[in-house]
Amino acid sequence: MPPETAVAPKFRLRLTVQSKEAAADGVVKLSLAGTDLPDWEPGAHIELALPGGLARAYSIVSGDPGRSYELAILREPQSRGGSEYVHDRLLPGDTILTTEPKNSFALEPAVQHVFVAGGIGITPILPMIARLKQEGKPWKLYYLGRSRGRMAYMETVASLAPTDPDLARIHIDDEGTSLDLAALIDGLPDGTAVYTCGPNGLMDALAAQVARRPSIHLHMERFGRAEISISADIAPSDDDATQQACDVDGAFEVELRKTGATVTVGKGQTILECARTVRQGLSFSCSDGYCGTCETGVLAGLPDHRDTVLTDEEREANRTMMICVGRSRTRKLVLDL
């Protein structure tokens, strides 16, 4: 087990590194073995307990049912120790604690499924396509990368539709085959589900295009904190509900400024679950306030921070919050969503 690892009750699985090999430049493939392992559905991930109290979520690509999970892990250039540890120190034969599989990126029924994967974002998408092929349902993949050598599972992608390569298209920047996202979205039939995982820039650009087509359903998977851009400041009046205190465990209102909608978050509910009823494509992962994926800009009101991501200074500034666990200390919050 990694040294100095903070073991939380949720890390219930003790797995052994069965194999470790290069999957692409800067990407390693791990096979983690155990006995009577929980089943998982396409899109699922597990979290690894790593040194220094770190926890990192990685998508399950494949595995032997009940016996192993296969992951592929990118070395992050600004790693705080997670991917660096996996790449440089974790060895075959080592044991590591993980959570049971969790799925916040599950397949949902649709007219057709279109997948846009950027780099390591191919990992949750491959098992989804395998399931759709098994069920005989329509799908199409666009796999994007900066260079061919950094794109994992290229052989697997090429084998998905050997008789119809148009179903699994590869777009590589340094080969001059970038994907026109606007044209892609414009050509989709109503009721299409678009699933994307990859760099924030890619997913944000895709979300902007999908926003023009309300009949297209967007699903995004992000791991780690996104860069937050606060679009505007609000100067509330003295009688504004964003200035009136409330019971932090009671109900409160949340205005989604960009969406143009307001939801009521009841006792026992989260901002995230209520916001998802009116806003597609919201990103989240851990749902426990420690991964930073759902970090959202706060425009007005006073959040009640319940995460373990923000520093004391960031909490005091109240510029962002984790909407999977955070609540409100005022009757209303205005969020940059």
pLDDT at 97: 94
- Domains defined along the chain, listed by start: 13-98 (2.40.30.10), 113-221 (3.40.50.80), 241-335 (3.10.20.30)
For residue 64, give both structure tokens.
Answer: 């032997």
pLDDT at 54: 73
Q: Quick one: DSSP state of residue 32? A: E
Total residues found in the chain within this entry: 337
Using one digit for the tens of pLDDT, what is the confidence trace for 79-102? 666 889 999 999 999 999 999 998
pLDDT at 78: 67
**Which residues have a Cβ under 8 Å from the Cβ of 29 and sit 6 or more positions away?**
19, 20, 21, 22, 23, 61, 70, 71, 72, 73, 152
**Which residues have a Cβ under 8 Å from the Cβ of 87 and sit 6 or more positions away?**
28, 73, 75
* Full DSSP string of 242-262: GGSB--TTS-EEEEETTTTEE
- Tell me if 63 sits within 8 A of 54, measured CB to CB: no
Beta strands in 168-300 (DSSP E): 168-172, 193-197, 217-221, 252-256, 261-265, 295-300
- Count CB neighbours of 218 within 10 A: 21
* DSSP-derived 3-state class of residue 142: strand
Using one digit for the tens of pLDDT, what is the confidence trace for 103-147? 878 999 999 999 999 999 999 999 999 999 999 999 999 999 999
The Cα-based distances of 210 to 112, 215, 259, 289 in angstroms read 15, 9, 14, 28
pLDDT at 7: 43
For residue 336, give both structure tokens.
Answer: 């940059």
Q: What are phi and psi of 156, to 5 degrees?
A: -65, -45
pLDDT at 236: 44
Q: Which pTM does this prediction carry?
A: 0.72
pLDDT at 3: 43
pLDDT at 164: 93
- Tell me if 285 sits within 8 A of 223, measured CB to CB: yes
For residue 330, give both structure tokens.
Answer: 């005022």
Q: What are phi and psi of 77, to 5 degrees?
A: -60, -30
- Tell me if 281 sits within 8 A of 209, measured CB to CB: no
Nearest to 283 by CA among 182, 206, 170, 177: 206
Cα separation, 177 vs 333, whole angstroms: 43
Low-confidence ranges of the chain (pLDDT < 70): 1-9, 53, 78-81, 223-239
